[in-house]
Structure 1
Amino acid sequence: MAKIIPFKAVRPSPDKVGLVTCRNYEDYSAAELAAWLNFNPYSFLHVINPAYANVQSISLDKRFKGVALKYKDFKDENIFIQEERPAFYLYEINTKNKIFTGIIAGTSIKDYQNNHIKKHEDTLEYRVEMFKNYLHQTRFNTEPVLITYPDSIELTTWILLKKQNEPLSQFSTTNKEKHTLWKIDTQSDIDWLADHFENIPDLYIADGHHRSASAEMLYKDDKHLGNPNLDYFMSFLIAESNVKIYEFNRIIKDLNNYTKEDFLKKIAQHFIIKAKEQELWKPQNKFEFGMYLDGNFYALFYKNEKIKNDSFLENLDAQILYDTILNPILGIEDLRNDERIKYIPGKQSITAIKEVIDEGNYKVGFMLYPSDISEIKTLADNNLIMPPKSTYIEPKFRSGLIVYEL
């Protein structure tokens, strides 16, 4: 049974919401970041990146305190306003290719601990600790965990009905997305939605494993303070069929001292190799891989006799690539920290891989077929962990749109 709660959100004033919200901080190049900070005084980037010109020269502790102070400034200037009563929110993101619609709510730390909110990715302890310290210092979060729920005709019908109401805010962004937010605050709607999720046995984290782990760590450290908001973390709940899952492709700096010919012979032990020359070929099915090497594309087909029908993790394409090529041939053991490997989201054209390799800093690139939600759920149900950077999942939430205070 999944427990969700409404909460008293902090959000941008309606006339400034399009100016305040921003993409994830890490999505901006240095030039973009400087431009937004110089020319948009309302951007939430000012909050999450205070004193940005000197950000590399100050400690994390001072930076987090600066975030808290700048957030207070935004509230004092009425750029942010506090809701008077708890509410759920309905949020729609309309992109060029897809419309995403989900529910913003508080989800239970106890459900997370009891594995009713299931995970499929491992976390890095230092990142969890760092974000926990961030939450402890700033006392707010604006990046919800993306969580999927099973498709429900009843819930889909309810959402369509609520979308006919006047939205709380609506705005477009420079990357040509349209964002719409509705507030769900009548007691009957709140009760109906909470009751509906009470009948869902399990939820699944799609994106945000470090954020949820940090929320749990903060709960353990600070629950003695008696703040009920610590019992929950903000989530964006979306139907399984509504998420978009891309692969993460890989580029490698060298062939681990193999010649091209020897390298091809090595991978031929596990794959049928077909030269595609200049054709921009990408996998069409599971157990297929694309490769770009020395100016040419190749199709790699995993040999069927190697497939193990009873092993969920070993049948995952990202794991197959690691077990057959990246580790034994190219000598890459630590997928998170080895500087010889870089990851490119599958939503980018494979020409991006070609261009990077043609520039000479990388030697070989691999294109994967994206996982689907059933693979993610199967791994989570069996307490298995995907290799790092196995999935790039959309939608991506706008920072500063909804703030959950701690």
Structure 2
Amino acid sequence: MVKIYRFSGLRPGRQDAPKIAAVPYDVVTADEAAEIIENNPLSFLKVSRTDAVLRDIPSDDERIYTAARDAFREMEEEGSLKRDESPSLYLYRVKQGGSLYLGLVACMDVDDYVSDVIKKHEHTRYDKERDRTRHIAATNANTGLVVILYPDEGDIFGYIESILPEGEPEAVVKTEQGNVHELFRITDTVRLAHIEDLFSRVPASYIADGHHRAKSAVLVAEERRKNGTYTPEDGRFMAILFAHNRVRIHGYSRLVTDLGDYTPESFLAALQERFEVRPYGEIDDTVFRVPPLRDAAGVHVFHMYLGGAWYECTCPVENPDDLIGSLDVSVLQKQVLEGMLGITDPRGDPRLQYLGGARPLADLEERVDSGEFIVAFSMQPVSVGTVMEIADDGMVMPPKSTWFEPKLLSGLVIHTLGEGEQK
């Protein structure tokens, strides 16, 4: 069964929320985060991306995490963040274009992660896992949300939607893109107990986004159990739960720094021995994905940007019953990244970087055209059903196979751990 917990959130008031709320730490570069902080010193990125402020210090230096802890404490001491007087659950609503998303913010159990009641579909990357583990330990808090899906036939979502408060939200933030984020607090004990009971009947849940945040929370809890500072709050991490049929998935792009022994011309020629490669022509680089030129049923398809031009690469799916092997990201990894470029560790090879699927294609073009990367690959999305089926079978997808929406802001509500680790 799925266990959820109330918590006394630390959060900004209505007036400060639009200034403090920030994009997740992992959707912006250090340069982008630095610019945001410079224009808005109250941005929560000064806590979640302290490396963007201390640019003359290596990003893995302990001083980065000490500075994050100090910045977080300062916000609480100044009163920018205040703690709710009683444990609550929170409703988080996002109005994005013509879509409306509604999720429940609660704490979840690290032991459920370990026992696979909370199912995973991706391995974590070592560098990001280490970074967030150190960040959670230093700040003594879950500063970002783990996105969790739960299978729902309408009972849970219907009830959650029905109790959405009609009054003014606890926080309202409108982003530059025009998206509206709203946070509501649920305090009625009868409603809280009913929500907890509804989730207790759900056999399992699924991490959609935030694998690194969840795994890092588990590692912090394990370390505190070992050193004797563990408290019940250390065994919980903050998450937002969405009904499985009320989210959206994008692909996750890949960028590679070099072609090894290949030139762009010889790489393209070698690629044509493995795939049908077609010049794509002009694209709309303001959108998030390249529409396939042909029906993608029964074929792998991905798009490549190389030498200032886009190409569509396709090949037949050899075994549709192989859930992992039939993924486009799997054939790209096996045939191209590993088979041609020698990138055998997609979790840790510095030659390979990722860009979230909700970034315009122009971002991929810019990073290749600038010379920072030599080639980019844009992927098609997979279905939520495929993700859940893979997790149910105990398998994992290649790293960064899915980009889920909505993306939630950091700093609107925070769960703090026990007091034993603070220094």
TM-score by length of 2: 0.85
Which residue identity does 1:321 align to in structure 2? L
Q: Which moved more, 1:224-233 or 1:311-320?
A: 224-233
Which residue identity does 2:160 align to in structure 1? I
2:78 is the alignment partner of 1:77: yes
Deviations 1:204-227 (A, max 9, x none): 001111211121122222234352
Which sections of structure 1, spanning at least 5 residues, go unmatched? Answer: none
CA gap of 1:256–1:201, structure 2 versus 1, over 3 A, is same
Instruction: Report SS of the residue matched to 1:324.
Output: helix
Deviations 1:202-261 (A, max 9, x none): 100011112111211222222343521122111111111222211122344454444666
2:268 & 2:391 partners in 1: Cα distance?
35
What does residue range 233-252 of structure 1 map to in structure 2 within 5 Å? 233-252=237-256
Q: Which residue of 1 aligns with 2:413?
A: 402
CA RMSD of aligned residues (A): 2.8
Which residue identity does 1:365 align to in structure 2? A
How far the C-alpha of 1:356 sits from its partner, in A, is 4.1
2:103 & 2:128 partners in 1: Cα distance?
27
Instruction: Report SS of the residue matched to 2:326.
Output: coil
8 Å CA contact 1:246–1:391 kept in 2: the answer is yes
1:6 & 1:115 partners in 2: Cα distance?
21
Q: Which residue of 2 aligns with 1:141?
A: 142
Deviations 1:329-360 (A, max 9, x none): 23322324434434333333334434444455
Instruction: Report SS of the residue matched to 1:241.
Output: coil
2:388 is the alignment partner of 1:377: yes
2:55 & 2:100 partners in 1: Cα distance?
36
How far the C-alpha of 1:164 sits from its partner, in A, is 4.6
2:352 is the alignment partner of 1:341: yes
Q: Which residue of 1 aligns with 2:378?
A: 367
8 Å CA contact 1:142–1:401 kept in 2: the answer is no
8 Å CA contact 1:252–1:341 kept in 2: the answer is yes
Which sections of structure 2, spanning at least 5 residues, go unmatched? Answer: 285-289, 418-423
Q: Which residue of 2 aligns with 1:276?
A: 280
Q: Which residue of 2 aligns with 1:62?
A: 63
Q: What count of residue pairs does the alignment treat as equivalent?
A: 404
Instruction: Report SS of the residue matched to 2:403.
Output: strand
- The equivalent position to 1:221 in structure 2, one of 223, 242, 260, is 223
CA gap of 1:222–1:354, structure 2 versus 1, over 3 A, is closer
TM-score by length of 1: 0.89
2:364 is the alignment partner of 1:353: yes
How far the C-alpha of 1:263 sits from its partner, in A, is 4.1
Q: Which residue of 2 aligns with 1:101?
A: 102
How far the C-alpha of 1:126 sits from its partner, in A, is 5.1
What does residue range 8-87 of structure 1 map to in structure 2 within 5 Å? 8-28=8-28, 33-48=33-48, 53-54=53-54, 56-57=56-57, 60-87=61-88
Deviations 1:19-52 (A, max 9, x none): 1111124544556544544454433234445696
8 Å CA contact 1:282–1:368 kept in 2: the answer is no
CA gap of 1:346–1:69, structure 2 versus 1, over 3 A, is closer
Deviations 1:35-75 (A, max 9, x none): 54445443323444569654543874333333333323222
Which residue identity does 2:73 align to in structure 1? K
CA gap of 1:34–1:345, structure 2 versus 1, over 3 A, is closer
- The equivalent position to 2:187 in structure 1, one of 185, 188, 194, is 185
1:331 & 1:62 partners in 2: Cα distance?
35
1:335 & 1:378 partners in 2: Cα distance?
22
2:198 & 2:233 partners in 1: Cα distance?
22
Larger Rg: 1
Q: Which residue of 1 aligns with 2:287?
A: none
Q: Which residue of 2 aligns with 1:231?
A: 235
Q: Which residue of 2 aligns with 1:196?
A: 198
Which residue identity does 1:368 align to in structure 2? M
Q: Which residue of 1 aligns with 2:5?
A: 5
1:75 & 1:259 partners in 2: Cα distance?
54
8 Å CA contact 1:254–1:340 kept in 2: the answer is yes
Identity %: 29
1:397 & 1:291 partners in 2: Cα distance?
29
Deviations 1:73-120 (A, max 9, x none): 222222111111110000011223532210000111221111110011
Q: Which residue of 1 aligns with 2:301?
A: 288
Instruction: Report SS of the residue matched to 1:287.
Output: strand
2:329 & 2:273 partners in 1: Cα distance?
18
- Detail structure 1 runs of 4+ shifted over 6 Å in the superposition: none
1:50 & 1:252 partners in 2: Cα distance?
26
